[in-house]
A and B are shown apart, each in its own frame.
Chain A
Amino acid sequence: MKDTIKVAVTGFVNGHCYWIYKGMCNEPELEVVAASFAPRQRIIYEDRMGREAFEGVDIYYDLRQMLDAHPEIQVCVCGGSNADHMEEFRLCAERGIHVVSMKVPTYDSAEYNEMIRLADEHHILVYIELEMRWRATVERIRELIATGRLGEIRAFNAYNYSHNPVWWNEWVDVPEQSYGKRIPLRPGSRYFRGGALTDHPHIFDLTRYLFGSDFDTVYAEVAPQMRKGTETENFAYVIGRLKNGVIVSLDPSFANREQERPRLHGLDLSRYPRPVQVELEVVGSKGVLYADSYGADYVECMTPDALKYEVEAYDLALDDQRRIFLRGMIRDIRAGTNTPDVDFRDHKKTLAAINAAYDSIYTGRPVKVGEE
């Protein structure tokens, strides 16, 4: 019997922490020894998962205290707001603790460079949770492109719609916490960076993954806000060109509605019509491909309480997807290798494209995507 790998979670304000935590609890090779978060998050998660949610797990309200008290921790999920990630990362890296990062390590280029430096200096693994990379549909598209059946690839269009998580993760709509600083979308605008474009890097990552090319130029616009009371962008539309000539249209908008019930902690998020939709289109000189990378096996249903109509995709137990993701990290730790699906250093280029899109919104002009 192998020794279990000792893991911990900190922050717990990223919506995906719930799934990762469940995945860790279900993985016999992992042992969750501690968690640290703000007291409110504990109440939220115990409401959601039951009072036994953290049974056998040492609870802390301070990350440093947790790490000092548990030198056996080998892996930590850094699940704070995006603004918390740098500090979480540093505290872990300096102790040689491997990091499971949320999809956005940081939008601050200097911070990102510091994370890379820390990872190199302390020889830690960094696994980034970008769930679209786990989809078989994405591999199908890669294969179909490679066969040449679409001819020369001309365009890639994708959307990643979701409800706005602000109604249960308030930090998502606080620019300092989501984007890391308060920057108006346009000069004099009352709205700020940190909304849909910040929260949905997946289709930008897929673009680079599918076509093996970096972004060359992007142009972006935000539409008027759909929701009252939000201060970060609801809609963002990005078009542009990759270095290999393929043109793109990427739409990460919070386009799906939800009820405005800010203290809703349960699973009933009241979504229209699906909580998340991710669809991809590839245009070639010989045809067009349409794909669904967020579950094409859907059912329509009506909830028994309020008779709300919903469309639900059948998903192979979200816990298992996270667990499979974590098993990659387990293998690397045991083998002393470093082979994550998403390269931590390379992911910086994806976030640079998003920053360039924000710059385009600000200036009203197309922007060349640099290395930052």
Chain B
Amino acid sequence: MQKCRTVEDGVAAVLKVYEQTPGCTWAYRRAGEGDLTDVLTLDGKDYPLFWWRFDTQTSMLHEMAPSREPCSMKLNRSCGKGEGLARLTYREFDIAQWVLRSALQSVMCFENGEARNILGTMENGCVAVFELAAALCDGTEEQGRHTFWGKNGMGSDRVVSQKVPSQATYLFTDDKTQAETYNDVFRCMYGLEKPDVVRACAIAEALMGRVDPAEWLRADAQLRRCLAAVERSAQSGEKEAV
């Protein structure tokens, strides 16, 4: 079996499975300085890549939420220092709005160096809590938990009492104390770890026309307004409308 080594390899593997050929030119660029997310370029036009919406667990939460009639959601996340709080906030805001099917109406933010706590109220009355930190060594797998509670159930991407994300494979050997881990997801993209699998899925879905990247552009504009409200709140010490 040929191993995938890059996101582009993953995209090609998916397209091969579905026997699809992209109808446009495309390029992928990982988020860099000043970017709020990765960038997908289609026929020369840049789109923000909402790759997290293709995370297997996050998309499960999105699917199951309506039947549970959500009341609130907690988004606890720690990422690498290089990722930064702005990028993390942008992503977590989108996850909250996507899962709860409602836009943020107001935000209250307390910030301290690498950490930021935000209480958001949604237009549909739900409350979203964001506990965000960019304090991990770059390259460390992101930590945290997304959980929502509803009148008719709940959903979480961590099993009860679990502290860190579980991996698909743990290898213990007699020459070191820590396990070597692998988090393979789809057979057709064998060789890629989950963060790259998710990105490849997002791009492939866009190339196959199964998602409309224009929606990501619209969401991007609204998310930037949310981030601006967060900045205002952190400065003013007051709740700010989005």
B117 touches A247 (CB 8 A): yes
Query: A228-B151, A237-B129, A274-B160 given. 4 additional CB < 8 A pairs?
Result: A226-B71, A247-B116, A279-B163, A287-B137
Residue numbers in A under 8 Å from B121 (CB-CB): 221
A169 at the A/B interface (Cβ < 8 Å)? no
Residues of chain A lying within 8 A (CB to CB) of residue B138: none
A239 at the interface (CB under 8 A from B): yes
Q: Is A288 an interface residue (CB 8 A)?
A: yes
Does A155 interact with chain B (Cβ within 8 Å)? yes
Q: Is B37 an interface residue (CB 8 A)?
A: no
Contacts of A255 in B (CB 8 A): 149, 154
| Interface of chain B residues 139 through 189 with chain A (CB within 8 A) | 143, 149-151, 154, 160-161, 163-164
From B76, B111, B161, A296 is in contact (CB under 8 Å) with B161
A235 & B133 in contact (Cβ 8 Å cutoff): no
Known: A157-B117, A157-B131, A225-B71. A217 touches B161 (CB 8 A): no
Q: Write the A240-264 contact mask toward B (1 if CB under 8 angstroms, else 0).
A: 1100011111010101010000000
The answer to whether B112 and A281 touch across the interface, beta carbons within 8 angstroms, is no
For A219, give the chain B residue with the smallest CB separation.
B108
Q: Which 6 A-B pairs have the closest CB atoms?
A: A223-B72, A155-B115, A154-B115, A223-B127, A273-B160, A247-B110
Checking A155, A225, A246, A366 against B131 with a beta-carbon cut-off of 8 angstroms, the contacting residue is: A155
A-side interface residues toward B, CB under 8 Å? 152, 154-155, 157, 159, 217, 219-228, 234-235, 237, 239-241, 245-249, 251, 253, 255, 257, 273-274, 277, 279, 281, 283-288, 290, 292, 296, 298, 311, 313, 364-366
Give 1 or 0 for each of B112-129: 1 = CB within 8 Å of chain A CB: 111111110100011101
**A239 lies within 8 A of B118 (CB):** yes
B131 touching A249 by the CB < 8 A rule?
A: yes
| CB contact under 8 A between A247 and B112, given known A219-B119, A237-B119, A283-B133 | yes
CA distance A73 to B178 in the complex (A): 57
Does B194 have its Cβ within 8 Å of any Cβ on chain A?
no
Q: Closest CB-CB distance, B3 to chain A, in whole Å? A: 32
